[in-house]
Amino acid sequence: MKKLITIILIGLLVNVSFSCADLEENPVGLLSPEGFYRSKADVESAIFGGYSGLASENIFGRQFQGSIMLKSDMVDIGNRSTSPERIQINDFQMDDSNGMVARFWPIWFQVISAVNSAEAGALSLDLPEAEINPLIAEARFVRAFCYFHLVRCFGDLPYIDQFVSDPSSVKTISKTPEAEIYNKLIADMEFAKQWLPDQQPNDIRTRPTAGTAASYLASIYLTLQDYQKAYTEAKFVIDNKDRFGYKLESDFQDLYRAELGDQIKETIFAVDFLGNISSYPENDDSMGPMVGTRHPLAQGYGVLVPSMKVYETWDNRDYRKRVSFEDTLKVDGQVVPYSEFPEPRPHIAKWRRFPGNSGTNGRTSDFNYPDFRYAEVLLIAAEASAEISGPTVEAYGYLNQVRARARNEAGVQNSFPEDVPTTLNKADFIDLVMDDRRLELAFEWKRWYDIKRRNLGEQVFKGANSLEPRPEFDASRDYFYPIPRKEIDLNPNLKPQNPGY
């Protein structure tokens, strides 16, 4: 979708945006469905406007993505002179005025607003279902995608699934219970699974398909601990992988080569950035410098840097370790070991090594950031199947597929990680799946969600084997973000604040 998102669409996103603050201060520019939508192309443009919000500095370009990484036990603050708002999140000392949260909260709702407008516009065209429902399904997928991230972060929050014609009404919206939000986003994903195509034109991976919706349904049900439905949806994707065009890429490194884009057949859904182009905050990808070292040869910021224990406990025989970490710097023929980095420990390589068309420090990259990969579908199937029946031959097979690919280093077969021994009990097998998720999906903002859904906080932040000790972690508070204080001040109906803030 590289050529589809333009400055015109970014402007559209601004027009349809709303947060409580925006409506209070500047309630203008909302697009009326009956006044704007004259064709399917107009609906599509509004949906693309939503995508441009996801591909912004405030969501996948740094703020949201970075916050989710910092809340995990895989990413630490490297440069402690960075802004306090990042340190607060990393150290579990956040309050309800945290600047990162205040920036990404309204952008999520801007995206939701864009696709709500698109859905209303599509319905106003009064076209046959077969003609218009695929676009409605795409709008509903994007809305569910947004709420799936939001509900895991905030719990109860405002759920809006209709076009807002009266901006002042937003100030009276109250929170929807978490369980009800899940029911609504499941309904949206089911509709998307029914009406989206099996593949998008040119097989692009930054627009959803029926396989995309089924994959997210598997993840949603896994989060809700409905393991039978999680398994059913994951098995559906696995059984139809050829129909959807999914496979494990043979070389793990290829997953993180920005120049490959839609050629990566493991990608199920990704957020698309245009290389070396920025109209801040839209299309401004700052992850490269955030994970890069501050060494003068690299010009990074040294902020998102794993602790030494994350690196040291990862087996050196695992090819994924070499792909995931930058433990030396090679620029202009010079080799600098990590011991000479300003933050003297290995840095994240996934979002820095091959950024495609980008700035010198990796900013404004060409990445399609993968929010879902086929490997994760296999891991979901393994975990859910084991929860239902214990470790079966089928469950071992799914996990071993992921491990077998990890042994393939640029076409050279290694012996590690070996296939899983078939003598494990249920608990040990599930623990192994969780650790494989940690390594396979390292630095892909999935680890925090796994910690939360498995209630692992006390273990991973306070246990004897903690990779990133955080004595301040409080399970009664820290599994949720605070709702920004500014939003509650503008709309007291958003009370009560999440516990502990």
Tokens read off for 56:
């912004």
Q: Is residue 298 part of a domain?
A: no
Residue 213's domain is classified under what CATH number? 1.25.40.390
Long-range contacts of 30-35 (CB under 8 A, 24+ apart): 30/117, 30/164, 30/165, 30/167, 31/117, 31/121, 32/165, 33/117, 33/120, 33/121, 33/123, 33/124, 33/163, 34/124
The pTM for the full model equals 0.93
pLDDT at 35: 65
What was the pLDDT predicted at 332? 76
438 part of a folded domain: yes
CB 15, CB 31: distance < 8 Å: yes
Residue with tokens 């939360």: 452
Q: Kindly state whether residues 270 and 403 are assigned to the same domain.
A: no
Sign of CA dihedral 394, 396, 397, 402: positive
Chain position carrying tokens 């709303």: 18
Residue 321 located in a structural domain: no
Overall number of domains in the chain: 2
Asked if 39 and 116 sit in the same domain, the reply is yes
Residue with tokens 């990404």: 104
Same domain? For 44 and 105 the reply is yes
Examine the domain organization and report whether 389 and 241 are in the same domain: no
Statement to judge: residues 409 and 484 lie in one domain? no
Residues 6+ apart with CB under 8 A from 282: 10, 13, 52, 53, 55, 56, 57
State the number of CA atoms in the 13 A half-sphere of 195 facing the CB: 20
Task: Give the three-class secondary structure for 325.
Answer: strand
Domain assignment present for residue 363? The answer is no
β-strands 368-373, 267-272 pairing: antiparallel
Cβ neighbours of residue 164 under 8 Å, at least 6 residues apart? 18, 30, 113, 116, 170
> Can you list the residues of the chain whose pLDDT is less than 50?
2-30
Q: Is the dihedral of CA 120, 1, 448, 109 positive or negative?
A: negative
Using one digit for the tens of pLDDT, what is the confidence trace for 317-368?
A: 999 999 999 999 987 788 999 999 999 999 999 999 999 999 888 999 999 9
Are residue 490 and residue 436 in the same domain, yes or no?
Answer: no
Whether 392 and 488 share a structural domain: no
43-96, pLDDT tens digit by residue? Answer: 999 999 999 999 999 999 999 999 999 999 999 999 999 999 999 999 999 999
pLDDT at 9: 39
**317 in any annotated domain:** no
DSSP string, 67-99: HHHHTSSS-EES-TTS-HHHHHHHTT---TT-H
For residue 218, give Cα distances in angstroms to 188, 238, 383: 14, 11, 11
Are 264 and 401 in a shared domain?
A: no
For 33, the enclosing helix (H) or strand (E) is helix 33-36
Judge if 422 and 489 occupy the same domain: no
Q: Phi and psi for 407 in degrees, rounded to 5?
A: -80, -10
For the stretch 304-314, pLDDT in tens is 999 999 999 99
Q: Residue 25 has what pLDDT?
A: 32
438 and 487 belong to one structural domain: no
Q: Is residue 150 located within the same domain as residue 226?
A: yes
Q: Judging by beta carbons within 10 Å of its beta carbon (0-12, 13-18, 19+), is residue 190 exposed, middle or buried?
A: middle
Under DSSP, is residue 38 helix (H, G, I), strand (E, B) or coil? coil
For residue 428, give every residue at least 6 positions away whose Cβ sits within 8 Å of its Cβ, in sequence order, or none. none
Residue 120 included in any domain? yes
Helical H runs in 37-177? 40-54, 63-70, 84-90, 99-124, 129-154
Domain span at residue 390 reads 374-443
344: preceding bond cis by omega (within 30 degrees): no
Residue 322 lies in a domain: no
Residue 484 carries which DSSP code? P
Q: 90 with 211, same domain?
A: yes
CATH of the domain at 424: 1.25.40.900
Q: Is residue 185 domain-resident? A: yes
